[in-house]
Amino acid sequence: MSLTRIVIGWLLVWVMFLFWEAVEGRLLGVASSDRAGPHERAPMLRRPPGAYFIEALLLALIAGLWFGSLGHGGWMLLFGLLGLLVDWTGWMRIAGDVEPPLPALVHIVLGGARGVAAGGLLAFALG
């Protein structure tokens, strides 16, 4: 597996993460409006773009190991579980600190779906 394919997969997943967060923030009201003033729009992303950049890098490196040496089957389960893990731990860190924009179960299931979508892009780029 070439480094070029891993970098392409990484950038595809990063763009997908940015798009996913922007759509989720606008459609489901996830983006917090408390950071925006009365005449400002709420931010489209909950975190800086660099955070999604690093998350996509780590996921691309895991995918490089998975598709390059460990196997090709079961990627939907692997990346779905990784998505659940990322959003579950993030949710547990903020639980009780802020008013939740979504019920916890919906947020965590969307994280699993986001992981499967990222895994699909990486399967396409690396598989």
What pLDDT was estimated at residue 10? 95
The C-alpha atoms of residue 85 and residue 80 are separated, in whole angstroms, by 9
Q: Check if the beta carbon of residue 84 is closer than 8 Å to that of residue 91.
A: no
pLDDT, tens digit (0-9, with 9 covering 90-100), for 29-77: 644 444 555 555 666 777 888 989 999 999 999 999 888 887 777 889 9
Lowest mean pLDDT among 75-84, 98-107, 115-124: 98-107
What pLDDT shows up at residue 88?
Answer: 78
The structure's pTM equals 0.78
The pLDDT, as a whole number, for residue 31 is 44
Q: Tell me the percentage of the chain whose pLDDT exceeds 90.
A: 35
> 85-88 — which CB contacts under 8 Å span 24+ positions?
86/55, 86/111, 86/115, 87/111, 87/112, 87/114
pLDDT at 105: 78
- Helix pair 104-126, 49-65: axis angle to 10 deg: 60
Q: Tell me, what DSSP letter sits at residue 101?
A: S
Q: Which residues contact 62 (CB under 8 A, 6 or more apart)?
A: 82
Sign, Cα dihedral of 50, 19, 7, 116: positive
